[in-house]
A and B are shown apart, each in its own frame.
Chain A
């Protein structure tokens, strides 16, 4: 080992000192001073890299668009909204890390984030400990009711069960046998658990269903589609596939399904996480008829939707957003709703303090682009949304097969297990 000269010692210490004095270590005083000058910060926890990037990345821009819209009308409580965007890189612990940083260092007034339940569950302890507020825009498995999370989208009772009921009924296909195919994590497992409980309650025997799980990002569905065909041919009633795979597995599965010549009239697929963006790379002619279920579909016929679609298309063009201006998915609309809900609550409470804002949720109502009126109650942090069942069409979109009359009251904890 050579001697360590004074120069190199100084350099080493300097590096360590620089590390400590880096913006992480910068005292919060410097940061919040910036915030106090007429702005309020909102934080985004959506990945722009990694497996979730294609679907989560859009939501950052929607939140920005909503903030711009509110700022144009004068902001909230006299302050303009500033949106801080981060990149948790589809790395679940990094969501927690970045969330903590935003709450404690940047002092954001609210967080908007997470898609997978994994990421939400890793941010949950952070928001609870730091007493922050996370607006979660995805439909999910329910069975959770934290005071620090606002569940802007539907639990299974208003997102999964209506679609399954439809398929099991006369109007649908009188389905009697079910092949559950999901990615291996909490949301599909919980959904399938609840579905099994529901079917048991209807007297359907255990032999009528089958469960298979694949890793996240799985793409080689040849054998599984063979198994689905074998399951379908066994007879005993009309079979359907309940698809809870997520991300790039959805188009891979649909492609293999079509290639093996199975049509929706033979074995319909209910893709519970399937959005318009998943059909972007596919030829959907052989896939016409497969179903999904969300609180918003792009083809919803309402004036508010027309306005929203135009707004998004113009925003994409104006700000050079790297996503398509003619594709709008439910989580985007839910993120948009979240920002407005927060702004309304903050205005109603005339404060940005989390406790005050939370008290202001009760009785809030907002006109969602889906055409329904969103509502919140004092009971919990769930938002009531309408229900759409969509059917794949040849133009890589969804036609509206059925929609609920109004926005049913959300049920946080499923009675079916």
Chain B
């Protein structure tokens, strides 16, 4: 069974009297453990698509099913619970909490959302930081580490709850080429280690090839025959 099942998803934004259709009927299926990229130029609807899959936004039409649950109509509270239990997020700007150390940033979801007891929580954080190669920097604040390191911490934060799906919106956009490659390879390594499905958006053609499956979005539509399998 597919982890993500989208059927004819549309999204229309209305600003004043102007309406703009960001997604014009997207149907998509992503299997468990996949490493998938959504590519396309700016404004093509990548972020909107990820927001809908991530239950951060609601589609105007169509049906979105994640891990067997229809998420179109989830309320604020249920949406938060669903995200906390099933999803991890990696943001373009890292979105680490500036006053918390690397360790505390990664610990936050376990402490605030999962309510895990401190000993297990700390063990999981150490393990995840070790996996992303950031355990040595655990005591540092986000502004004391580089952009690539910040994104590693963000990956650790997304993975520490062991979600089924990690959504990464332009995770390499703020990084140089080599660091971007390292981050994507790290994500794929994490997929291999934990079996987590990764779906990331990018408009950087140089790292697109790292994905196993590529979906191309143009002007709110998936371009036909754009998917292709690439060797891992």
Q: Do A and B bind each other?
A: no
Chain A residues packing against B (C-beta within 8 Å): none
Interface residues in chain B, defined as those with a beta carbon under 8 Å from any beta carbon in chain A: none
